[in-house]
Amino acid sequence: MLKWLRQASVAVAVTIAVCVISSPQLVLAKSGVLSPADLERPSELPAAVTEQSGKLLLSDSPEMVPDDGIMYQDTVSGDIRLFFHHVNATMEPKKIVVLLVNDTTEAADVIVSRHGLGGPDVDYLAVGKIAQMEYLNQEEVELIHVPANGTAHLVSVLRDTVVLPNELVNGIYDFRTKIPLKVVVMMLPVEAEAAEFAATAAVLPADSQRLRGTFHGSDRLIVPSKVYNSKKDGIIAITLADHKRDMYVSGIDATDGSETLNYGNYGVVYKVFLPTAFEQKYAVYLNPRGGEYAGGIKVKYRHQHENTIGTPADKLFFGTKTVTDAAHLGNYEGGQSLWLTFSPPGASNLPVKIILAPAGKTE
């Protein structure tokens, strides 16, 4: 019965995640309106990349968790983002939880400002898309009290959630704490109590990808160095998370002190501003370049109209064995403020391109 309810809830969430979001300000179209030739090698729009403050904790190694133990932990304070992405790779039901451990003599109040959670489920692309869509849409603030010399769950729903073999859990949590807290991401037996388990649990070895660590600069600001003019510039692109134009963030694996690189910039949130010429309508697309992709993107137009759009909006994923799929994010009036909020979704492949094109390409 519990498994049926879990699968039913995921099915409903997937339906929400892939629905087409529309408004009077956004004229949406199906993916792939541009021709394949348009997307093969678009010119690049030069842009300045600025890393902004905040710490990112990434827990994605071992991604396929082979045994009970701690996948990642670090003691942090201030503004924190945690991105965790783990599969129960054992043959038994487990729990995957995030424990906040307060080793000080002063109680801590943790403010969770934004979060998204996907899974547990065996459809990994759906789990990643659900987590990202929820993160981009969610604005409720939550307060978590962590007593002195005590513990609390960051994700309360995971305290009693059973993760079956081969199921994925993916979470993105933004929170603030003045008191230093140890953040512990771990997998444990279903019947185990988290605080008791954490006190003696060993840190699991990283897998070959080594996608775990603590990174400075959880947000990035992307601002083109020139104004886009659809009539003069035609089809042009901004590439994100390719480690060429947009470098991967580097950090330290706090479990062993080694240097690490966040391949794909998972957990990094991008704010992309698009300056455009007046009196020139234009269209915006997201174009995956690394393979299968299932995510979402938030669009803020004229400082007030906000929409979160599934990428793609009309199905779960796209980008399989092609670099010419594109999700249409809307047609816009030039010279008006347009901001995009983007983050690499769990289980999806990078890089991506933000494509700007004359609006006539979609009409």
* Per-position pLDDT tens, the chain of length 363: 333 334 334 444 444 444 433 332 333 334 335 888 889 899 999 999 999 889 999 999 999 999 999 999 999 999 999 999 999 999 999 999 999 999 999 999 999 999 999 999 999 999 999 999 999 998 889 999 999 999 999 999 999 999 999 999 999 999 999 999 999 999 999 999 999 999 999 999 999 999 999 999 999 999 999 999 999 999 999 999 999 999 999 999 999 999 999 999 999 999 999 999 998 899 999 999 999 999 999 999 998 889 999 999 999 999 999 999 999 999 999 999 999 999 999 999 999 999 999 997 544
Residue among 346, 285, 280 at smallest CA distance from 83: 346
Dig out the tokens for 35 from the structure.
Answer: 């021709």
Tokens 């906040």 correspond to what residue? Answer: 100
Predicted pLDDT at 7: 39
According to DSSP, the residues that pair with 186 across neighbouring strands are 70, 97
Q: How many Å apart are CA 14 and CA 5, to the nearest integer?
A: 14
- The full set of domains in the chain, from first to last, is 36-53+218-358 (2.60.120), 55-209 (no CATH)
Burial of residue 92 (number of CB atoms within 10 Å: 0-12, 13-18, 19+) = exposed
Task: Evaluate the CA torsion angle 86, 243, 18, 21 in order and state its sign.
Answer: positive
Predicted pLDDT at 26: 36
Dig out the tokens for 73 from the structure.
Answer: 């932990």
Residue among 244, 240, 263, 214 at smallest CA distance from 343: 240
Query: Phi/psi of residue 157, each to 5°?
Result: -65, -25
Backbone dihedral region of 71: left (phi > 0), alpha (psi from -120 to 50 degrees) or beta?
alpha
Dig out the tokens for 131 from the structure.
Answer: 């987590």
> Angle at Cα 172 formed by Cα 168 and Cα 177, nearest 5°?
135
Q: What angle in degrees, to the nearest 10, is found between the helix axes of 124-137 and 2-18?
A: 60
Give Cα 152 distance to the centre of its chain. Answer: 24
Dig out the tokens for 72 from the structure.
Answer: 């990642």
Q: How many Å apart are CA 288 and CA 307, to the nearest integer?
A: 20
In this structure, the chain runs to a length of 363
Burial of residue 289 (number of CB atoms within 10 Å: 0-12, 13-18, 19+) = buried
Residue among 89, 68, 266 at smallest CA distance from 185: 68
Predicted pLDDT at 279: 81
pTM of the full predicted structure? 0.91
Give Cα 359 distance to the centre of its chain. Answer: 29
CB-based contacts of 351, cutoff 8 Å, min separation 6: 239, 240, 241, 242, 246, 289, 290
CB-based contacts of 64, cutoff 8 Å, min separation 6: 87, 89, 207
Predicted pLDDT at 361: 52
